[in-house]
Every structure is written in structure tokens, then in C-alpha cells.
Amino acid sequence: MKTFKYILIGYLITHITFMLIVGFTSFTGLKDKKSYETLNPAGQAIVDFSSLFECSKSVNDFIYFYSIFTGTNRGYSFFSPNVAETKVDIAFVADGNRIELPLLTQESKLKFECANLHFKSNIFDEEERDVILRSISSYLFSANPDIDKIDVYLHLSKYMDLQTARDLGYGVKRKSILGFSATKKEKIAKN
């Protein structure tokens, strides 16, 4: 029994260590100049300190393997370090009409929003963007056989910060951009 307890304590210590590494290394992505400038001085010091938790590839791979199986791999820094002031809605349009996705439940719609978020954050990665867009377009072409071309619009809403909203009154800057077009022959063009 004693040995069994020691094994469990060892496992708990290992889990804590792994989670500390996963947690701190998730901040190292903020080291690039653009993100670093958005941090407060203490935040910059913590990001610098986080580098101490960087491990070799093999150790990282092992920790990732463990955290995937326990559902703890994605880190926990939600809505941080700052919150985006811009909202991007993606709309699929054919012949001037918006194509609604056939998702029925709120949870499924939220899941699709998460896929959209990934798409938006990789919008400048051509390969990534095209693979996702091609898949969604192909699905929409199958569901709507009479459509030959789909335009992907990005509806941007930029919100003013609290100070500006107080000084100038509440307002939202909206802009719609025709981002991409996809044809039935799986061709995707950037507009």
C-alpha cells in the first residue's frame, strides 16, 4: 500500500510539473515583437521568465503526448493577454444570397464558430486557408447543386475602446470585404 501511495504521489508531482510547463510555454508565443508590445511591463517580464520552461523537443513531445490523452493539451489562457477589438463574420454568398449552414443546435453553431476562428487566424497562410475553404465550398456545392460560384465575404466590425466611446459616443466601424471566391471546379481565387 505504501509503495502504491508513493507511486500516486509521484504521478501527481509529474502531472503538476507537466501542467506548469504547458502553462508557461503557452506564453512564449507572445515573444514576437507585435504581441510583446501589447503586454504590460510585468507581463513582459513573465513572458521572458516563461522561456525557462522551454524543454527539448523529445521532452515536449512526451508532455504533449500525455496532455493529449488527458485532455489538458490546449493551455488555459482564454481571452488573454488582451481581447480583440475586431469581430470578423464569415458569410458564404451565391448569386447575391447568403447561404446558411444547416446546423440546428446552438452547440453545433458554436463549434462552427471555433472552426471559423481558426480560419480567421490563419487567413494569411495560403495553404491552410485554401484547404479549409475548399472543404467548406465543396460541402456547400454538394448541398446546393444549382450553385456554380461561392463568394466568401468577411464582415468586419471594429469596436472603439471605452475611453473613445465615452468621448465620442458609441459607434462601430463596419466593413465588408469580398475575400475569396470558389468555383465548382475547386478553384479558389483571392479577391
Partner 1 sequence: MITKIESFIFKNSISINRTLVIKLITVFALVNILTVLPDVFHIFSDQGIIKSQVNQRYAFWYQPVLNWFFKSFSYFGLNANATLLVFIFIYISSLIAILLNFKRTGFAFVAWFIHFTLINSAYLFSYGADYFMSFTLFINLAVCSSLLFKKDIQSSLYSFIIRFLQIHLCLVYFFAGLGKALGTDWIDGNAIWFVINTYTSDSVIENSLPLIAYPMFFKILGWGTVALELLYPILMFTKFTRKVTLWLVVLLHVGIAVFMEFYTFGSIMILLNFIAFGQHFKLKFIEKINIKIKTKSLETRAI
Binders of partner 1 in range 75-134 (CB under 8 A)? 75-87, 101-108, 110-112, 114-115, 118, 131-132
**Terminal alpha carbon distance of the chain:** 68
Closer residue to partner 1, CB minimum distance, 172 or 178? 172
Quote the CA–CA distance of 99 and 101 in Å, as a whole number: 6
**Positions 137 through 176 that interact with partner 1 (CB under 8 A):** 138-139, 142, 157, 159, 161-163, 165-166, 170, 172
The distance of closest approach from Cβ of residue 189 to partner 1 in the complex, given in angstroms and rounded to an integer, is 20
The distance of closest approach from Cβ of residue 186 to partner 1 in the complex, given in angstroms and rounded to an integer, is 12
The distance of closest approach from Cβ of residue 98 to partner 1 in the complex, given in angstroms and rounded to an integer, is 16
Do strands 149-159 and 172-183 pair parallel, antiparallel, or not at all (unpaired)?
Answer: antiparallel
Instruction: Check residue 3 for interaction with partner 1 (CB under 8 A).
Output: no
Alpha helices in the chain (DSSP H): 2-25, 33-36, 41-50, 57-70, 106-121, 126-143, 162-168
Quote the CA–CA distance of 17 and 9 in Å, as a whole number: 12
Closest CA to 53 of 82, 74, 24, 81: 24
Cβ-based burial of 42 (10 A; exposed 0-12, middle 13-18, buried ≥19): exposed
Note the Cα 107 to chain centre separation in Å.
17
Of the candidate residues 55, 59, 68, 189, the single one contacting partner 1 (CB under 8 A): 68
**Positions 7 through 66 that interact with partner 1 (CB under 8 A):** 8-9, 12, 15-16, 19-20, 23, 26-27, 30, 38-40, 42-43, 46-47, 64-65
The distance of closest approach from Cβ of residue 157 to partner 1 in the complex, given in angstroms and rounded to an integer, is 8
The distance of closest approach from Cβ of residue 11 to partner 1 in the complex, given in angstroms and rounded to an integer, is 8
